[in-house]
Amino acid sequence: MGTRGKSIVKLDVNKLLELLNKAYADEWLAYYQYWVGAKVAKGIMREPVANELMEHANEELEHADKLAERILQLGGTPIIKPEDWYKMCNCGYEAPENPNTEALLKQNIKGEQCAIGVYNKLLEFIGGNDPITFHLIREILEDEVEHEDDLENLLEDFESMKK
């Protein structure tokens, strides 16, 4: 990144890079959890659930892309070995061992709730000290809030079908 662009970052850049890379690891794992979940999904409302999961998968991949671009701008390197995703992530990976659509929704809601916590904490860490990263993370957080809401709405549809 340009020297002037870097000079407006009033944070410990190494610490920021570590937090961004941790979030980057989460995004790849979230991407795969959604993607493979959409593939294996079975049961009630399979098609709308699988479509929503695949849409979210694509959005998590976009998040990973944006994080990688910012990490590079700040002079860092995005994680280059998938095995490090597991070591660096905040939210872990839950294999969709139960392909039932309701179970998949619950599993991914948990993931979104973790992501919301992580990004909210990251915003608190950044505060007014790096407006560019703050804006990027705020945008990602907005998507995660929407993801949680989408999945919870689908789950509500299940509940009302049971009545």
80-88 long-range contacts, Cβ below 8 Å, gap at least 24? 82/28, 84/25, 85/25, 85/28, 85/29, 86/25, 86/29, 87/25, 88/21, 88/22, 88/24, 88/25
Q: Which does 130 bind (CB under 5 to 8 A by kind): Mg ion, Fe ion, none?
A: none
> 116 vs 132, which CB is nearer to Mg ion?
116
> 12 vs 142, which CB is nearer to Mg ion?
142
Structure tokens belonging to residue 14: 């190494």
Residues 41-100 that bind Fe ion (CB under 5 A): 60, 63
Angle at which helices 131-162 and 46-73 cross, to 10°: 170
Q: Does 144 bind Fe ion (CB under 5 A)?
A: yes
CA distance 16 to 22: 10
Q: How far is the CB of 108 from Mg ion (least distance, A)?
A: 11
Scan for tokens 């995005």, then name that residue.
Answer: 78
Q: How far is the CB of 10 from Fe ion (least distance, A)?
A: 26
> 84 vs 152, which CB is nearer to Mg ion?
152
From 150, 153, 154, 161, residue interacting with Mg ion (rule: CB under 5 A): 150
Q: Which does 26 bind (CB under 5 to 8 A by kind): Fe ion, Mg ion, none?
A: none
Sequence-ordered list of residues with C-beta below 8 angstroms from that of 47, at least 6 positions apart, any chain: none
Q: How far is the CB of 54 from Mg ion (least distance, A)?
A: 10
Q: Does 144 bind Mg ion (CB under 5 A)?
A: no
Sequence-ordered list of residues with C-beta below 8 angstroms from that of 89, at least 6 positions apart, any chain: 22, 25, 26, 29
> 48 vs 75, which CB is nearer to Fe ion?
48
* Residues of the shown chain interacting with Mg ion in the complex, contacts defined by CB under 5 A: 150
* Residues of the shown chain interacting with Fe ion in the complex, contacts defined by CB under 5 A: 27, 60, 63, 144, 147
